[in-house]
């Protein structure tokens, strides 16, 4: 029997980058996966390469910063799958700028997607986890939520907020056998980091003891560990997956 057979998983921001790697990893280990995303793959785009997994994946257009959108999507999943065992709050955006140049809308967009989105998705799904007395929630934070980063005050604040949220909720729901943990990735090769200049990338790499950027799969493997029975005594933790950048 595969590790996640009979488990229903929701991954936000699941059609690209780290989220997509998490979706593919859960599929490979037997789960039924709902990929929520703002923009779904085009009709003629192959979302999941491996044909044998396609019957166990569904995509839903969701804006995680809208309670209406999140609540509708949650209802759809519960109507069709009957339960949700694992939630990965992965959707996230950046709107980088030095604080004096940061607009109110840059601030709001990042906080609303990264922090409020985590709150809305968790709140919508938590009810069914409480009733079934089982749940695993994994929030994707970032090392900049721990150490800060010039030009990312909005993003760092949102990711630090995700850490506080993770720890508070872990305390609230532990008695219902719901575990809540966060992953803090360092520098991962996705479209989010494609925007960095060659100089910024070089500076990152120089400071990473493992001397390489992470692949999305490096993060996915840790998400699956936290969702697995091997992590059944771990809650309220932040696991850095950053090649040793922060220690």
Which residues are part of the catalytic machinery?
A: 155
Tokens for 221?
């493997």
What region does 151 belong to: left with phi over 0, alpha with psi -120 to 50, or beta?
A: left
Q: How far apart are CA 3 and CA 162, in angstroms?
A: 27
Contact region with ligand NDP (CB under 6 A), list: 26-34, 169-177, 183-191, 227-235: 183-191
Nearer to ligand NDP, 24 or 37 (CB): 37
What region does 3 belong to: left with phi over 0, alpha with psi -120 to 50, or beta?
A: alpha
Among residues 100, 191, 195, 199, the one that binds ligand NDP under rule CB under 6 A: 191
Among residues 28, 130, 192, 246, the one that binds ligand NDP under rule CB under 6 A: 192
Pattern 10-49, ligand NDP, x by CB under 6 A: --xx-xxxxx-----------------xxx----------
Q: Is 91 in the site for ligand NDP (CB under 6 A)?
A: yes
Tokens for 130?
């409480």
Among residues 9, 27, 62, 138, the one that binds ligand NDP under rule CB under 6 A: 62
Q: Is 161 in the site for ligand NDP (CB under 6 A)?
A: no
Residues 109-148 that bind ligand NDP (CB under 6 A): 113, 117, 140, 142
| Helix intervals (H) in the chain | 17-28, 67-81, 104-110, 117-132, 144-147, 153-173, 191-194, 198-207, 216-227
140 within 8 A of 182, measured Cβ to Cβ = yes
What residue ranges bind ligand NDP (CB under 6 A)?
12-13, 15-19, 37-39, 62-65, 90-93, 113, 117, 140, 142, 185, 187-188, 190-193
């Amino acid at each position: 029997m595969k590790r996640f057979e009979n488990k229903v998983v929701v991954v936000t921001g699941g059609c690209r980058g780290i989220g997509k790697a998490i979706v593919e990893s859960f599929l490979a280990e037997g789960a039924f996966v709902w990929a929520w995303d703002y923009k779904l793959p085009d009709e003629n785009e192959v979302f999941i390469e491996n044909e044998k997994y396609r019957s166990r994946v569904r995509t839903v257009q969701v804006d995680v910063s809208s309670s209406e959108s999140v609540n509708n999507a949650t209802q759809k999943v519960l109507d069709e799958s009957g339960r949700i065992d694992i939630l990965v709050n992965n959707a996230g955006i950046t709107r980088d700028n030095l604080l004096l140049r940061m607009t109110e809308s840059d601030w709001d967009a990042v906080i609303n997607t990264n922090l409020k989105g985590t709150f809305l998705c968790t709140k919508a799904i938590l009810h069914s986890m409480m009733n079934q007395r089982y749940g695993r929630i994994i929030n994707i934070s970032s090392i900049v939520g721990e150490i800060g980063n010039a030009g990312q005050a909005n993003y760092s604040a949102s990711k630090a907020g995700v850490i506080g949220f993770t720890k508070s909720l872990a305390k609230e729901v532990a008695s219902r056998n719901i575990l809540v943990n966060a992953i803090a990735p360092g520098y991962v090769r996705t479209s989010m980091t494609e925007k960095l200049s060659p100089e910024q990338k070089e500076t990152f790499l120089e400071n990473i003891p493992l001397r390489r950027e992470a692949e999305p799969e490096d993060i996915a493997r840790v998400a699956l560990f936290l969702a697995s029975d091997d992590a059944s005594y771990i809650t309220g933790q932040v696991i850095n997956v950053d090649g040793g950048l922060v220690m």
